[in-house]
Structure 1
Amino acid sequence: MQLAPFGSWKSPITADSIVADSIGLSSIVLDGTDIYWLESRPQEAGRSVIVRRTADGQLSDITPPAYNVRNRVHEYGGAAYTVAEGRVYFSNNSDNCLYTQDLRSAQPDLVTQLTHDRTKRYADLTIDPHRQRLICVQEEHDSTELEALNTIVSIDLKAPDQTIVLVGGCDFYAAPRLNADGSKLAWLSWNHPNLPWDGTNLQVATVNDGFLSAPALVAGGARETIFQPQWAADDTLYFVSDRTGWGNLYRWSDRQVTIVHELAAEFSLPQWIFGMSTYALVGKQRIVCTYSQNGIWHLALINIASGHLTRLNVPHTDIASIRATGNLVVYCGAAATQTSDVVAIDLIAESRAVLKHSNQLKIDPGYLSTPQSIEFPTTDGQTAYAFYYPPTNRDYQPLLGEKPPLLVKSHGGPTAAASNQLNFKTQYWTSRGFAVVDVNYGGSTGYGKAYQHRLDGKWGIIDVDDCTNAALYLVKQGLADADRLAISGGSAGGYTTLAALTFGNTFKAGASYYGVSDLAALATDTHKFESRYLDRLVAPYPASANIYQDRSPLYFTQRLSCPIVFFQGLEDKVVPPNQAEMMVDALKEKHIPVAYVTFPTEQHGFRQAENIKRALTGEFYFYAQIFGFQPAESIEPIEIMR
C-alpha cells in the first residue's frame, strides 16, 4: 500500500469507463409475457430506446436508430411510451409526434401529424381498447409564447386527426387511467401555484359515447397530494395520499375511501416526471409495493383484506418503476453495492433474476466506498440527514495526519432525495481520495411531509444551512479538512451551491451544474410547470421582489471569495444559460478564479457521453488546481479565468 496525498490516488474508475459502460434504465411496461423498458444511452447522444425481453429471455431493441423515445411535457417528460397487445405507441423527441409500431415492422407509423411549429407534446399514454383510441396528456405551446395549455385528450387511432379534449380547465393533468371495462376514467389535476407534491385532485368520471360525464372528486385538495391512481379488476381505485403526513396507500370503493396500510413511511415520490410507480396489484389479494424510511427503500407485499405488510428479502435499497402481472414482479432496483438493474421476481418460486444491468463496469470492492447513513444537528435544533462516503482505495493510505478534501453534494429538486445506490460518479471521487457527503437537506422527500415543508419560504436558507452543517459535522468528527471543503450541485442544487458560496464562508470552492443565480429571473423566465414553484419555496413574485433579490447570489458577488466552475447546456429551457453567464461575468470582474464549460446541444441535465465525461473530469481538474494536489492521471484542462 502506497502513501500518497488525498486527491492524488490512482483509480481504476475512470470517466471513460463510466460513460462507456453505463446506461439509464426506467419506464418498465408489461404486455402479456413480454417485458419492456427504456434505455437511455449516453453513447448514442443520450437517445432513449425501447427494449423488449420475451419469455424465452431474448432481448431486442424496438426503437429504430432514427428515433428517440422521449417527451418534454413539463420539460421533464416521462411515460413516453406504452404497449398493448404487441403494439408499441411512443413519443419521438425530435418532432414531438406520436408513433405506433407493430413488433413485426422495422419502422413506426405516424399517429399525430407533424405541425410546422411543433406545438403539441404528449405524455402518460394509455390505450382505450374498447374504442380504439389513445388517451394521454397533451401540452400545447402557442406561438405567441403564452403559457402552455394542458389537457387530457383522446386520439382516434383510425382517424388521428380526430382529437377530442376529454378534460380541460386546470393548469396541469396527469395519470389518466381507465378501469377494466372502459366505463370510468380517473385522473389527477392541480393548479398554480401548486406543484403535484403540494396538492392534487383525484377525480373519476363516467365514459359515455367516448366522452366524460358526472366527474366526482375522490380525494385530494390544495394541501393533499395524490400519487399513482390505479384500478383493480373489481373497480376498486387505489392511490397514495399524504393526508396523514406520510404518503400511504388508500383505496376507493363504493364511494368510500379507506386506508390500506398505515405506516410512518413514504409510498410515493415527488411527481417530477410522468408514469412513476411505487406499487402494483398482484392478483386480487395482494399489493407489491416499495416504501422509503430514512432515505432507504424497501420492497413489501400487502394483504389487501387484512392490511398486513410483509417485507420481502431483496438486496435493493433504491426501488422504482414497479409492475406486476400474475405472480411476476418487475422493477428497477439498486443498492449501495450495485448500480440500477431491471429485476424480476417470481413470487411463487421465490426466485429473483436480473434482466438487464445499467452498468457492466466491474470494480474490485477494495476501490468502492460504502455509504453510511448519518444524522447531524442543524439550525434551530433540527436534525438533517445525509449519506457519507469515506475516501476508499485499497492501494493507498493518506499521509500521516492529513484529512481528506470533502465534496458536499446538494441534490436537485429541491423536492427530491439523495440515494445510496452505487453511483460510479461518486466512487470516481472517493477512489481518488475525496470524502463525499450527499445531503438530504430540509425539503427532501422520504422523511415525511413536515420535513418536506421545512423548506417552505426558506429556500436558500434551510438547504444552505443543512449542507453547511453537514460539512462542519464531518470536520468536527475529524473526517474532513476544513480548508478543502467543496460543494457541488445541479439545477436547484446548483442554486444551493451558489448560495452557500455567496452567503457563507465555509466552503473553499464549488461547482454549479445549470444552477440558478438569480431567483427573480427563474421566476419570470422558466417553463410553466415550475413558473410558480417559488411562491412556496420563497414567496409570491413580484410582490416579494425584495426577498428574491436578497437571496440571489448574483446580486451579492462582492461577498464571494472562492473559485467556482460552471457547467451549462446551451439549450436549457429550465435554467437558461444567461443565469450562469451573469455569475461568471461578475466573478471575472472580481478576478476570482472561475471556469465556464458549455455544451451547445445539451438541455437541462447532460445526456451525451462525451459531455458527461467532460463535466466530471473538468470538475476534478478544477479542484486539483484550487486545492493544489496532483491528479494521478492526465486530465484535459479546462480554462480557468482569473
Structure 2
Amino acid sequence: MQRTELAASATGVFWLESDPVSGGNVIMTLEAGVGIPLLSRSFSARSQVNGYGGGALCAGPESVFAVEASGQQVYHIDTATGACSPLTDDDACYGGLSWDAAHHRVLAVREANGRQQLMGIALTDSESANCILHESEDFYSAPTVSADGRHLAWVSWSLPDMPWVASVLWTASIQRDGSLTQARRWPSPSKGSVQQPIFDGDDVIVLSDHEGWWQPWRLASSGQWHLLDGTREDHASAPWQLGERHHQCLPDGGWVRVRYQAGVGQLWLCSGNEETGVRIAREYVDFRCLVVQGQRVLCIARSSTRLDTVLSVDWATGHAEPLSGGEEPFPEMTLSQPELFSVPTSAGGGDPVSGFFYPPMLFASVRKSVPVILIAHGGPTSTAYPVLNLQTQFWCHQGFAVAEVNYRGSSGFGRAFRMALAGSWGQVDVADMERAARWLVANKAVDPARLFIQGRSSGGYTALLAMVQTDVFAAGASQFGVSDPRRLRAMTHRFESGYLDWLLGSPDDCPDNWQQRSPLAQADRLCRPMIFFQGAQDRVVVPQQTTAIVNALRRNGGSPEVYVYPDEGHGFRKQSNVADMLERLLRFYRRQSTDQ
C-alpha cells in the first residue's frame, strides 16, 4: 500500500493512499490517531499534468483541495462536513496545487491544448474569478507564496529540455487584486536545474545543481546566489512529478532537508541555534512531501521493512514518531534485506555503478548458486531506492535473488552521473546492467546460467536491448517497455517530446543510433525467451509498441509470451492484475531455470 502526496494545515493532516482493489488514490486523514478516508473511496485523487501528475492535494485552514482523477478538475472539500464541490469546470488538467493564504485561493498548473498556465483558483463565485497568473513559458511547477503574501516564486522550463536538464527560477510581486507584476527570471550562475523554491522572508531558497549537485541555495533580494550546504550530495530526486518537497525552513531559523547517498535518503535537521545539522529517523531510507505544521515536520517516510509511514518529527528535539502506516506487511515472515553493492564501470575505474542486492529467502541454504533477476528501473532518469517492495519480496521468497541497479543516468548521484545518459541511452545503461550481472556472478554466488533481466517502461527498453546486445541473460521480461524509439518519438506526449532526442541524439544528426538502439529494428538478434506485459490504456508507451515487437519476434520464428490487461494504463495499479502478472512471470522464470 503506497502513501503519497502529504498535505497539512490547521484543519488536519491529509495524504493519498493507494487502493489496491480499484487502483485509485483515496484521500486519508487522522481521526483519534487512526487513518480514515476523508471521502468515499469512489473519489480518487490523481493529476495527469505532464502525464505523470503530482501535486493533486493541498490543504487550507478549513478545507482540502484535490484533483479528481477521472475529470482532472480541482475540488473543494469541507473537512468538517465532507461537502465536495468543483472549483473548475473545463477540459484542462490541473496539478501542482498549493495554498495561497494571503489571497484565499489555490495556485495550480493548468494544462490544456498543448499549453500550460500558472493559475489562481478562487474558492467561491463571489470572489475574484479564476485568473491566469503567468503563461509565457512551456512548463510550470512549484508555485509558492511568501509568508506576507507579497511575492510568488515558481520554476519553469522550455522544450526540448526536461526539468532535470535545465530550468529557471522565477519570482513576481503579487498585487492586492491577486494578479502578478514585476515577473522576473533568475537564471542560476551557470546552466543547471532548479526545483522546489521556498521563501525565507523575502529571500528564496531553491535546490539547484549548477555546481554539480542539487544543493540548497539562497537567492537574496539583491540577486546574489549563496550556497547554504556544500555537501556534495543531491538534496532531491529528479522532478518527474509536480509537488515534491525535500526541504523546508523552520520557524526558529533552522531547516530540515533530505540528502541522497548511494540511493539512500537521509533526513537532516538543524535548529536555529546550530551551525550544522544532525541526521535523524535513521530507520527510514527515503523521505518525501516535507511540510511544517506547528511544532512538527510531517513527511512520507519509507523503509526497507515496513509500508509507507506518515511520520511526525518534533523539530525542536528531533524525535520522530509514526502517525499512520508503517505496518509490517507479513509479521510472521522474515524479509530479504537490501545489500548495497558497487562495481566500477570499467576495469580502469570511472563512476561506480551501484545497486541493491536482495538475497533469496528460499532454497539459499541448499543451492550453491541461485537465479537472479536484475531490474532496470524506469525513467530512465529515475532511481532504485532500498525501500520495501512487495514484488521484490515475492521473488526472494520464491528462491530468486533480486538486484536493482542504478545505472549511469540515474538521479541522486549528481548532475554528471545523471547527464551521462545524454546521447548514450541503450549503451551505458545496458553496459552497466551487464557489468552488474558479471559482478554478481563473481561476488554473490548467483548462477551465471540463470541471469534474468526485466524492466518497466524505459527499463523494459534497457532489458530488451540487453537481450539483443549481450549473451549474459538467459531470458527477459518487458513490462510496458519501449521497443520502437522512433515511433515513440512521433506519438509521445508534450512533456517528453524532446527527451528522446536528448537520449539518442536527433534522428537527423544521429540516424545510426535510432537504428542500432531500436529493439524492434534488431528483433532478429533477440533469440532467447521473452515475456511481455502491457496495459491496453497506456498513453505513454502505447500498446502498439509491444504488439510490434511481439509480431516481429514471431515472424522470426520466436514464441514470446504476451499478456495485455484491458483496464490498466502506464503502470499496473490493480491488485488482481499485479498478482496475475507475478504468477505468469514466476512460471516463465521457473521454466527457463528448468531448461538450463
Contact preservation (8 Å) 2:307, 2:328: no
Alpha-carbon distance in 2 for matches of 1:372, 1:130: 48
More off after superposition, 264-273 vs 294-303:
294-303
Structure-2 residue corresponding to 1:529:
495
User: Map of 1:272-291 to 2, 5 A cutoff?
Assistant: 272-291=240-259
1:427 paired with 2:427, answer: no
Alpha-carbon distance in 2 for matches of 1:164, 1:547: 45
Alpha-carbon displacement from aligned partner over 1:337-396 (angstroms, at most 9, x marks no partner): 33321111223455332222265522446x322211111132474321111112123x76
Alpha-carbon distance in 2 for matches of 1:328, 1:384: 37
Structure-1 residue corresponding to 2:112:
140
Alpha-carbon distance in 1 for matches of 2:370, 2:193: 42
Alpha-carbon RMSD across the aligned residues, in angstroms, is 2.1
% of aligned pairs identical?
A: 31
Could you tell me which runs of 5 or more consecutive residues in structure 2 were left unpaired when the two chains were aligned. none
Structure-2 residue corresponding to 1:384:
353
Alpha-carbon distance in 2 for matches of 1:493, 1:154: 38
1:544 paired with 2:510, answer: yes
Contact preservation (8 Å) 1:520, 1:545: no
Alpha-carbon distance in 1 for matches of 2:161, 2:198: 23
Q: Cα 1:478–1:416, aligned 2, differ >3 Å: closer, same or farther?
A: closer
Structure-1 residue corresponding to 2:6:
28
Alpha-carbon distance in 1 for matches of 2:240, 2:343: 28
1:514 paired with 2:442, answer: no
More off after superposition, 71-80 vs 149-158:
149-158
Q: Cα 1:307–1:538, aligned 2, differ >3 Å: closer, same or farther?
A: farther
Question: Equivalent of 1:610, from 576, 579, 583?
Answer: 576
Alpha-carbon displacement from aligned partner over 1:114-168 (angstroms, at most 9, x marks no partner): x4xxx30111112333334322100003xxxxxx111112223223993322111
Local SS of the residue matching 2:25: strand
1:128 paired with 2:105, answer: no
Alpha-carbon distance in 1 for matches of 2:524, 2:80: 64
Structure-1 residue corresponding to 2:76:
100
Structure-1 residue corresponding to 2:41:
65
Q: Which amino acid aligns with 1:311?
A: R
Contact preservation (8 Å) 1:341, 1:355: yes
Alpha-carbon distance in 2 for matches of 1:478, 1:170: 50
Q: Cα 1:34–1:435, aligned 2, differ >3 Å: closer, same or farther?
A: same
Structure-1 residue corresponding to 2:50:
74
Alpha-carbon distance in 2 for matches of 1:361, 1:50: 21
Deviation at residue 304 of structure 1 after TM alignment: 5.8
Alpha-carbon distance in 2 for matches of 1:427, 1:121: 36
More off after superposition, 470-479 vs 291-300:
470-479
Question: Number of residues paired by the alignment?
Answer: 591
Q: Cα 1:305–1:246, aligned 2, differ >3 Å: closer, same or farther?
A: farther
Local SS of the residue matching 1:483: strand
Alpha-carbon distance in 1 for matches of 2:514, 2:559: 26
Alpha-carbon distance in 1 for matches of 2:354, 2:40: 44
Q: Cα 1:458–1:65, aligned 2, differ >3 Å: closer, same or farther?
A: same
Structure-2 residue corresponding to 1:90:
66
Structure-2 residue corresponding to 1:182:
149
Deviation at residue 37 of structure 1 after TM alignment: 0.9
More off after superposition, 480-489 vs 30-39:
30-39
Q: Which amino acid aligns with 2:162?
A: L
Structure-1 residue corresponding to 2:409:
443
Structure-1 residue corresponding to 2:87:
111
Q: Which amino acid aligns with 2:17?
A: E
Alpha-carbon displacement from aligned partner over 1:534-564 (angstroms, at most 9, x marks no partner): 2221112444333212210101111111111
Q: Cα 1:357–1:77, aligned 2, differ >3 Å: closer, same or farther?
A: same
TM-score, with structure 1 as normaliser: 0.88
Question: Equivalent of 1:52, from 24, 29, 35?
Answer: 29
Alpha-carbon distance in 1 for matches of 2:190, 2:541: 27
Structure-1 residue corresponding to 2:171:
204
Q: Cα 1:313–1:95, aligned 2, differ >3 Å: closer, same or farther?
A: closer
Contact preservation (8 Å) 2:269, 2:315: no
Deviation at residue 436 of structure 1 after TM alignment: 1.2
User: Map of 1:614-633 to 2, 5 A cutoff?
Assistant: 614-628=580-594
Local SS of the residue matching 1:182: coil
More off after superposition, 532-541 vs 562-571:
532-541
Q: Cα 1:597–1:627, aligned 2, differ >3 Å: closer, same or farther?
A: same
Deviation at residue 251 of structure 1 after TM alignment: 1.5
Alpha-carbon distance in 1 for matches of 2:189, 2:556: 49
Alpha-carbon distance in 2 for matches of 1:63, 1:591: 53
Alpha-carbon distance in 1 for matches of 2:506, 2:440: 36
More off after superposition, 520-529 vs 336-345:
336-345
Local SS of the residue matching 1:554: coil
More off after superposition, 149-158 vs 237-246:
149-158
Structure-1 residue corresponding to 2:262:
294
Alpha-carbon distance in 2 for matches of 1:337, 1:358: 9
Structure-2 residue corresponding to 1:14:
none
Q: Cα 1:368–1:65, aligned 2, differ >3 Å: closer, same or farther?
A: closer
Alpha-carbon distance in 2 for matches of 1:473, 1:396: 19
Structure-2 residue corresponding to 1:8:
none
Deviation at residue 408 of structure 1 after TM alignment: 0.3
Structure-2 residue corresponding to 1:244:
211
TM-score, with structure 2 as normaliser: 0.95
Alpha-carbon distance in 2 for matches of 1:313, 1:83: 25
Q: Which amino acid aligns with 1:537?
A: L
Local SS of the residue matching 2:426: coil
Local SS of the residue matching 1:169: coil
Local SS of the residue matching 1:455: coil
Structure-2 residue corresponding to 1:310:
278
Contact preservation (8 Å) 2:256, 2:270: yes
Deviation at residue 603 of structure 1 after TM alignment: 1.1
More off after superposition, 153-162 vs 604-613:
153-162
Deviation at residue 185 of structure 1 after TM alignment: 1.0
Q: Which amino acid aligns with 1:322?
A: L
Deviation at residue 221 of structure 1 after TM alignment: 8.0
Q: Which amino acid aligns with 1:343?
A: L
Question: Equivalent of 1:157, from 120, 123, 141?
Answer: 123
Contact preservation (8 Å) 1:200, 1:222: no
Question: Equivalent of 2:296, from 298, 323, 328?
Answer: 328
Local SS of the residue matching 2:291: strand
Local SS of the residue matching 2:43: coil
Q: Which amino acid aligns with 1:26?
A: T
Alpha-carbon distance in 2 for matches of 1:591, 1:358: 49
